[in-house]
Structure 1
Amino acid sequence: MKLKHDRIPVYVLACVLSIAGTVSADDWTGFLGPGAASVAADAVLPKVIDDESNVSWKIPLPAKGASSPIIVGDNVIVTCSGGQGDKQNELMVVCVDKNSGAKKWEQKFWATGRCFCHPLSANAAPTPATDGERIFAFYSSNDIACLDLDGNLLWYRGLAADRPKAGNDVGMSSSPVVVDDVVVCQVENAGDSFATGLDAKTGETVWSQDRGKTAVWATPLVIKTRDGKNLVLVQSADKIDVLDPKTGEVKFQQEGDVSTISSACIVGDTVITPMDGTTAFQVSSDGSIEPKWSQGQIKAGSPSYQVTENSIFTCNSRGILRVWDRESGDKKKEARIDGSYWATPIIADGHMYCFGDDGTFRLVNLHMGDDQKPEVVQQHKFLAPAKDGADTKGEVFLGSPAISGNAMFVRSNNFLWKFAAE
Structure 2
Amino acid sequence: MFKVSKPQYTHATNSYGSCTPWIEDGRIWIHFGTYGTACVDTKTGKKLWERTDIECHHWRGPGSSPVIFGDNIFLTFDGFDKQFIMALNKDTGKTAWMKKRDVDYKTDNGDAKKAYSTPRVITAGGKAMLVSPFAMATIAYAPKNGDMIWKVVHGGMNAAARPLFGNGLVYVNAGGGNSSMIAIKPEGQGLLSESDIEWKLGRLTPKRPSQILLGERIFMLNDTGIASCLNALTGEVIWSARVEGSYWSSPIYGDGHIYGLSQEGKVVVFKAADKFELVAENELGDGFIASPSVAENSLILRSKSHVYRIVK
Same fold (TM over 0.5): yes
CA distance in 2, matches of 1:142, 1:123: 9
Q: Say whether residues 1:303 and 2:303 are aligned partners.
A: no
**Aligned partner letter, 1:191:** D
Larger mean CA deviation between 130-139 and 192-201 belongs to: 130-139
Match of 2:46 in 1: 152
CA distance in 1, matches of 2:171, 2:217: 11
**How big is each residue's C-alpha offset from its partner over 1:19-74, in whole Å with a ceiling of 9 and x where there is no partner?**
xxxxxxxxxxxxxxxxxxxxxxxxxxxxxxxxxxxxxxxxxxxxxxxxxxxxxxxx
**How big is each residue's C-alpha offset from its partner over 1:222-273, in whole Å with a ceiling of 9 and x where there is no partner?**
112454x532111122221101122111111112214522231123432111
Matches within 5 A, 1:189-338: 189-211=79-101, 214-227=113-126, 229-259=127-157, 260-275=159-174, 276-282=179-185, 290-338=196-244
Unaligned runs of 5+ in 1: 1-107, 384-393
Q: Say whether residues 1:351 and 2:241 are aligned partners.
A: no
Match of 1:109 in 2: 2
Match of 2:76 in 1: 186
CA distance in 2, matches of 1:265, 1:405: 23
Match of 1:124 in 2: 17
**Aligned partner letter, 1:274:** N
CA distance in 1, matches of 2:140, 2:5: 30
Q: Which has the higher contact order (CA 8 A, sep 6+)?
A: 1
- What displacement does 1:146 show? 0.9
Unaligned runs of 5+ in 2: 104-109
Match of 2:284 in 1: 382
Moved over 6 A (4+): none
CA distance in 2, matches of 1:132, 1:410: 23
Match of 2:28 in 1: 135
**How big is each residue's C-alpha offset from its partner over 1:173-219, in whole Å with a ceiling of 9 and x where there is no partner?**
01111111111111012202221101100001111122265101111
CA 264–204 in structure 1, closer or farther in 2 if over 3 Å, else same: same
**Aligned partner letter, 2:19:** P
Alignment check: 8 A CA contact 2:8 2:59 kept: no
Larger radius of gyration: 1
Alignment check: 8 A CA contact 2:65 2:118 kept: yes
Alignment check: 8 A CA contact 1:282 1:291 kept: yes
Match of 1:86 in 2: none
Q: SS of 2:218's equivalent? A: strand
CA 192–366 in structure 1, closer or farther in 2 if over 3 Å, else same: closer
CA distance in 1, matches of 2:89, 2:78: 20
CA 236–113 in structure 1, closer or farther in 2 if over 3 Å, else same: farther
TM-score (norm 1): 0.64
CA distance in 1, matches of 2:72, 2:92: 10
CA 246–323 in structure 1, closer or farther in 2 if over 3 Å, else same: same
- What displacement does 1:126 show? 1.0
**How big is each residue's C-alpha offset from its partner over 1:363-389, in whole Å with a ceiling of 9 and x where there is no partner?**
223344xxx4232x2222223xxxxxx
**Aligned partner letter, 1:378:** A
CA distance in 2, matches of 1:198, 1:256: 28
CA distance in 2, matches of 1:138, 1:333: 38
CA distance in 2, matches of 1:344, 1:330: 22
Match of 2:302 in 1: 411
- What displacement does 1:406 show? 3.3
CA distance in 1, matches of 2:70, 2:233: 31
- What displacement does 1:317 show? 2.0
